[in-house]
């Protein structure tokens, strides 16, 4: 019997596991679990017998793929796949896929949770501010960016977007005005929400020169990846602009400095929380299981990432 292994350092909700099990068993596949693991050795051991693997932000390195002797397919239950060594997947004859869009609403809602909590002074009792009528810039306009725009319309925000891969028409249909370059976005928007993947082009791409353009009381929200921010530039902005706040779904490497020097101007989640909802877990986890079953049954490589 072929085996699907779910290997998740940050586990899915139990209801998700039940639903994935149903999909697997209906297809005659055995489901095994490695949840909450604390060291790589456990992962290396668990993957040895797996024919298919479902992960979240778990690192699927060359070493893991080398240990996974039976592996045919790995699905990242989520969007960002910077945790998977795609070159090594190809070298090991493993198909890698993701499940784009499935957890995007959870991430979008978290962006608002961070913004609202911050501008209400973290429930400290001091007078806060509101989102209505404020400018919101979406830095990248993929699945999450669109969900954020959708929610922002309800808040009555003035929405702008910059994404070189998305047309003005798509932005307009989703209630956002297109900026012709990234500088325009940062110049116009008091709130910027980042929604791009981490890759060679985007890593450290948001730094001092861009952030300093933001208007008074600037709030930068990062529910994407910490690697996208140039932290040297970020610290310089914190130092120069007492009106600047940074809200991030995952701690930056320079967290200790910010915590010590810039109280009240940041929020950092200790674990990546954007997709940590039952709905996002179910959507992404079950989609991953279905893609595996479909691949085994028909060879269809839905959302294949490696060549
Ligand atoms: C993603 O890329 O899909 C999100 O960042 C969620 O990641 P997670 O599954 O590790 O929470």
The predicted-structure confidence for 197-248, as pLDDT tens digits, reads as follows: 999 999 999 999 999 999 999 999 999 999 999 999 999 999 999 999 999 9
Mean pLDDT value of segment 31-56? 98
Mean pLDDT value of segment 10-24? 98
CA of 156 to the centre of ligand 1 (A): 28
Are 152 and 191 within one domain?
yes
133-168 per-position pLDDT tens digit: 999 999 999 999 999 999 999 999 999 999 999 999
Specify if 307 maps to a domain: no
Are 126 and 231 within one domain?
yes
Are 62 and 119 within one domain?
no
Rounded Cα–Cα distance for residues 70 and 251 (Å): 36
pLDDT of residue 107: 98
Specify if 304 maps to a domain: no
pLDDT of residue 171: 98
Specify if 303 maps to a domain: no
Confidence band of 283 (pLDDT split at 50, 70, 90): very high
- By most ligand atoms within 8 Å of CB, the mutation choice from 8, 11, 57 for ligand 1 is 57
pLDDT of residue 184: 98
Atom 6 (ligand 1) nearest CA = 275
22-33 per-position pLDDT tens digit: 999 999 999 999
Specify if 306 maps to a domain: no
Are 50 and 108 within one domain?
no
Residue 218's CATH number: 3.40.50.720
pTM over 0.85: yes
Are 153 and 127 within one domain?
yes
pLDDT of residue 40: 97
Answer yes or no: is the C-beta of 8 below 6 A from any ligand 1 atom: no
Mean pLDDT value of segment 64-78? 98
Answer yes or no: is the C-beta of 101 below 6 A from any ligand 1 atom: no
Contacting residues for 4 by C-beta, under 8 A, at least 6 apart: 20, 24, 29, 30, 31, 32, 50, 51, 52, 53, 54, 289, 292
Are 24 and 149 within one domain?
no
Answer yes or no: is the C-beta of 103 below 6 A from any ligand 1 atom: yes
Confidence band of 130 (pLDDT split at 50, 70, 90): very high
Answer yes or no: is the C-beta of 224 below 6 A from any ligand 1 atom: no
Containing structural domain, residue 34: 3-102+276-298
User: Pick from 274, 150, 269, 266: which is nearest to 219 by CA?
Assistant: 266
Specify if 71 maps to a domain: yes
Are 212 and 293 within one domain?
no
CA of 3 to the centre of ligand 1 (A): 23
Rounded Cα–Cα distance for residues 131 and 159 (Å): 11
Are 143 and 78 within one domain?
no
């Amino acid at each position: 019997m072929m085996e699907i292994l779910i290997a998740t350092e940050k586990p899915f909700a139990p209801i998700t596991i039940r639903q994935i099990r149903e999909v697997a068993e209906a297809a005659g596949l055995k489901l095994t679990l490695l949840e909450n693991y604390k060291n790589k050795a456990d992962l290396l051991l668990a993957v040895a017998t797996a024919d298919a693997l479902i992960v979240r932000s778990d690192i699927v390195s060359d070493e893991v793929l080398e240990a996974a002797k039976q592996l045919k397919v790995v699905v990242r239950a989520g969007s960002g796949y910077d945790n998977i060594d795609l070159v090594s997947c190809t070298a090991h004859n493993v198909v890698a896929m993701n499940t784009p869009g499935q957890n995007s609403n959870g991430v979008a809602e978290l962006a608002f949770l961070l913004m609202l909590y911050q501008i209400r002074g973290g429930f400290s009792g001091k007078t806060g501010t509101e989102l209505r009528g404020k400018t919101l810039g979406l830095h990248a306009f993929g699945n999450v960016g669109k969900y954020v725009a959708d929610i922002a319309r309800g808040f009555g925000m003035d929405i702008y977007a910059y994404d070189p891969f998305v047309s003005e028409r798509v932005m307009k249909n989703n209630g956002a005005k297109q900026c012709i370059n990234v500088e325009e976005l940062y110049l116009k928007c008091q709130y910027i929400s980042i929604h791009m993947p981490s890759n060679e082009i985007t890593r450290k791409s948001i730094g001092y020169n861009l952030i300093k353009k933001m208007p008074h009381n600037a709030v930068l929200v990062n529910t994407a990846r910490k690697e996208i921010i140039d932290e040297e530039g970020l610290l310089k902005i914190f130092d120069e602009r007492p009106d600047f706040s940074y809200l991030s779904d995952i701690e930056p490497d320079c967290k200790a400095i910010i915590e010590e020097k810039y109280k009240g101007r940041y929020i950092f989640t200790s674990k990546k929380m954007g997709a940590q909802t039952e709905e996002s877990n179910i959507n992404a986890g079950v989609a991953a299981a279905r893609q595996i079953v479909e691949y085994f049954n028909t060879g269809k490589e839905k959302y294949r990432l490696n060549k």
